[in-house]
Amino acid sequence: MTATTDGSTGAVPPRTASATSAEAIDDVSLPAAGTDVAQDAAERAIQRATDFLLSAQDAEGWWKGDLETNVTMDAEDLLLRQFLGVQDESVTRAAALYVRGEQREDGTWTTFHGGPGELSTTIEAYVALRLAGDAPDAPHMAKASAWIRAQGGIAASRVFTRIWLALFGWWKWEDLPELPPELIWFPKWFPLNIYDFGCWARQTVVPLTVVSALRPVRPAPFPLDELHTDPRRPNPPAPLAPAASWDGLFQRLDRVLHGMRPLVPKRLRAAAMNAAARWIIERQENDGCWGGIQPPAVYSVIALHLLGYDLQHPVMRAGLQSLDRFAVWREDGSRMIEACQSPVWDTCLATVALADAGLPADHPALVKAADWMLGEQVVRPGDWSVRRPGLQPGGWAFEFHNDNYPDTDDTAEVVLALRRVRHHDPERVEKAVARGVRWNLGMQSKDGGWGAFDVDNTSAFPDRLPFCDFGEVIDPPSADVTAHVVEMLAVEGLSHDPRTRRGVAWLLANQEENGSWFGRWGVNYVYGTGSVVPALAAAGLPGSHPAIRRAVAWLESVQNDDGGWGEDLRSYDDAGGWGGRGASTASQTGWALMALLAAGERESKAVERGVLWLARTQRADGSWDEPYFTGTGFPWDFSINYHLYRQVFPLTALGRYVHGEPFRTRAAEPGQRTAPAAAGVSATLGRTG
């Protein structure tokens, strides 16, 4: 069986499909054949893309594309409103319009464009549409419920889905894993303390301990018998793993916790829940959200409401208002919920792209972007300081408001962006960069790599909990994040610093056998490789280095027949079948070209074909079309379509093709720092980390 154009079925990944719609530039002709075809095409594409990106900048200086995930965000928003009794007819109607529009022909909903139907997502979407008034016997609903039953029904769904259903009595609380609020008191050295979880999981687990302890049930507005394989036995017991396995051990521990639940003193439990509430409230951001992401905000609002905080309490009012800011209203009247928003990330990437495209370093758009980024630096401690108590703050976060959880990835990319701008206050830039570099150096893990939010967040225990059956819950070092930090340190003149060399050694040690690198935060091996090769080159590895040659060979081997690159999210689940394979996309083609150009392959046929693919598929307005998801929240489990990726990465790649690698050719540019000029910075940073 062969794959379809969108890769939605079949066993063979596509090699020739394009992610570009028929609206791509039919009216923009490429130059006639000749030696400068790719150069001319790239220059013309750069001009159009630059104009498009400049037009998308906010008046305050930032960029932000939509962050598209899947309909569970929208379904859970409606479930929250039902639980709190704050339904809004217009919101329900708009959300239902969006959810219906995302249903596939087979009745299912998926977690990424072109992907297979996903059970829990389909269940939550179905329930949301029932709340919106869709009848269970309507054709689209009957098709969905039949598919759900065929996949095992509600009993086969993930724990998070069954928690939402338990809130309305559609599932029994006693048949869910126990999550005691006393976790909040576990010391930081004890296994399964809350700081063993990644920050996104930590912010979710703490409020859910309160919900789990109280086991609330609101009257369900309708039954869901049609979603059970056997309505007479809706809660079948889950099979136990072997007792000698870790999974079996934790399943049996969960049974012990269930048995102990009636024995926990009420005053002890109340004190633990109050401690959890204080922890939650202390981490509420100034705009009312939690960590700048939607799921922890939803669970925090529920937990505080159950503890007696009424909806008019300032904490609750701000929290509910923050949830509305995750909504994107579309021209067709539908309403999509973003899991989070990415203005800092989008702005630093857009700044780099425009600088690579040849925009002057003192261009007003770049200066305005730098001003905004400088104002977003986090200058107070957050949860990261639990493991680095002596480290001074100085990082950047991903979102508009997230002072508790800056990340090393954004910090590295912001520093790289600031170095591309000739700012009117260079002293301010120098101080901000020094703080950011110092903070990132201090966040290096003991193995030499960098995780995104925490140091040495590598405990094997959280993943084993029966509760944690969806997505990553820890934050170990990854190749893409480590690469971005190494690249930043190299640009700051720290290539020979022992900490940078440890990062380089980590990257070399974690190269895959086929020459690629795993992409934790982007899809997947193309993203990892597109991140690592430019970092190794910036750190001084020549293009002839064996690791770089292996990476080049791998990228050339997975180039699609149409000249682009693409990779389907199924590579996280099946690296052998899908690694580096998928419909060509603008962002992934940009990543591959960035790696090949950094490796010195500008004159190669692969680069020429990739450049021409980008020029050929660009739309008339200077943009690219990209329905495919190339961003990653949790590998395989939670996927992201960053709508600005399709603009910034192609422009970066084309700019570097035309103007050369930025950190090799900018030595004479005013307002820029070359690596030798910055070598003395290490003396001012100290030996943190």
| b/e sequence 195-222, b meaning 16+ C-beta within 10 Å | bbbbbbbbbbbbbbbbbbbbeeeeeeee
Instruction: Tell me the β-bridge partners of 67.
Output: 642
Please report where in the chains the tokens 């009848």 appear, as a residue: 135
Last residue of a domain, one of 278, 309, 337: 337
pLDDT at 670 over 50: no
> Does residue 329 contact residue 296 with C-beta atoms inside 8 Å?
no
The two beta strands, 638-642 and 335-337, are unpaired
Q: Nearest Cα to 298, choosing from 320, 274, 329, 331? A: 320
Please report where in the chains the tokens 């919106």 appear, as a residue: 132
Last residue of a domain, one of 337, 370, 392: 337
Sheet of strand 638-642, all strands in order from the earlier edge strand to the far edge: 67-68, 638-642, 631-634
Residue 663, pLDDT score:
73
CATH at residue 306: 1.50.10.20
Please report where in the chains the tokens 């299912």 appear, as a residue: 108
| In a shared domain, residues 278 and 390 | no
What percent of the chain clears pLDDT 70, i.e. is strictly above it? Answer: 91
> Does residue 366 contact residue 349 with C-beta atoms inside 8 Å?
no
Q: Nearest Cα to 128, choosing from 70, 77, 69? A: 77
| In a shared domain, residues 538 and 549 | yes
| In a shared domain, residues 140 and 46 | no
Assigned domain for 26 exists: no
Assigned domain for 17 exists: no
Which of 675 and 556 is assigned the larger pLDDT? 556
Assigned domain for 1 exists: no
pLDDT at 350 over 80: yes
- Domain containing 300 equals 68-230+256-337
What percent of the chain clears pLDDT 90, i.e. is strictly above it? Answer: 84
CA–CA gap between residue 656 and residue 641 (Å, rounded) = 24
Assigned domain for 379 exists: yes
Between the two ends of the chain, the Cα-to-Cα distance in Å is: 52
Residue 239, pLDDT score:
79
Please report where in the chains the tokens 């309403």 appear, as a residue: 335
Q: Position 644: which residue type? A: L
| In a shared domain, residues 406 and 289 | no
Segment 204-209 mean pLDDT: 96
Number of Cα atoms under 13 Å in the Cβ half of residue 253: 15
Give the count of beta carbons closer than 10 Å to the beta carbon of residue 90. 9
Binned at pLDDT 50, 70 and 90, residue 28 comes out as very low
> Does residue 162 contact residue 212 with C-beta atoms inside 8 Å?
no
- Computed over every residue of the chain, the mean pLDDT equals 91
- Which tens digits make up the pLDDT trace of 211-242? 999 999 999 999 999 999 988 887 777 777 88
Coil vs helix vs strand at 578 = helix
Residue 320, pLDDT score:
95
| In a shared domain, residues 408 and 540 | yes
Residue 664, pLDDT score:
60
- Which tens digits make up the pLDDT trace of 73-128? 999 999 999 999 999 999 999 999 999 999 999 999 999 999 999 999 999 999 99
Mark residue 580 as left, alpha or beta (left: phi above 0; alpha: psi -120 to 50; beta: remaining). Answer: left
Binned at pLDDT 50, 70 and 90, residue 13 comes out as low
| In a shared domain, residues 130 and 75 | yes
Task: List the Cα angle 73/76/78 in 5-degree steps.
Answer: 110
pLDDT at 55 over 80: yes
Which of 27 and 586 is assigned the larger pLDDT? 586
Residue 466, pLDDT score:
82
Assigned domain for 244 exists: no
Residue 426, pLDDT score:
97
pLDDT at 535 over 90: yes
Segment 163-172 mean pLDDT: 96
| In a shared domain, residues 45 and 87 | no
CA–CA gap between residue 182 and residue 213 (Å, rounded) = 10
Rg, the chain, Cα only = 25
> Does residue 334 contact residue 310 with C-beta atoms inside 8 Å?
no
For the chain, how many structural domains are there in total? 2
Binned at pLDDT 50, 70 and 90, residue 14 comes out as low
Last residue of a domain, one of 286, 315, 337: 337
Q: What are 511's two structure tokens?
A: 């190269």
pLDDT at 588 over 90: yes
Give the count of beta carbons closer than 10 Å to the beta carbon of residue 65. 21
pLDDT at 581 over 50: yes
Highest mean pLDDT among 11-15, 16-20, 174-178: 174-178
CA–CA gap between residue 125 and residue 79 (Å, rounded) = 10
Residue 252, pLDDT score:
85
Residue 47, pLDDT score:
98
User: In the chain, count of helices (H) and strands (E)?
Assistant: 25, 5
CA–CA gap between residue 257 and residue 264 (Å, rounded) = 10
Q: What is the 3-state secondary structure (H, E, C) of 65-120?
A: CCEECCCHHHHHHHHHHHHHCCCCHHHHHHHHHHHHHCCCCCCCCECCCCCCECHH
Please report where in the chains the tokens 């052998």 appear, as a residue: 576
Assigned domain for 396 exists: yes
Find all residues with CB under 8 Å of 109, minimum gap 6, and list them. 70, 71, 99, 102, 103, 117, 118, 121, 122, 125
Coil vs helix vs strand at 141 = helix
Residue 506, pLDDT score:
98
- Which tens digits make up the pLDDT trace of 397-407? 999 999 999 99
Assigned domain for 671 exists: yes
| In a shared domain, residues 45 and 111 | no
Q: What are 143's two structure tokens?
A: 């098709």
| In a shared domain, residues 290 and 391 | no
Assigned domain for 398 exists: yes
Q: What are 514's two structure tokens?
A: 């086929």
CA distances from 85 to 38, 219, 310, 491 (A): 59, 11, 12, 53
Task: List the Cα angle 508/405/329 in 5-degree steps.
Answer: 105
> Does residue 50 contact residue 357 with C-beta atoms inside 8 Å?
yes
- Which tens digits make up the pLDDT trace of 383-397? 999 999 999 999 999
Q: Active-site residue numbers?
A: 409
pLDDT at 688 over 50: no
pLDDT at 512 over 90: yes
Q: What are 317's two structure tokens?
A: 């009012």
Binned at pLDDT 50, 70 and 90, residue 689 comes out as very low
| In a shared domain, residues 50 and 195 | no
| In a shared domain, residues 260 and 347 | no
| In a shared domain, residues 217 and 366 | no
E strand or H helix that includes residue 631: strand 631-634
**Region of poorest pLDDT, from 136-140, 243-247, 502-506, 667-671:** 667-671
- Which tens digits make up the pLDDT trace of 135-163? 999 999 999 999 999 999 999 999 999 99
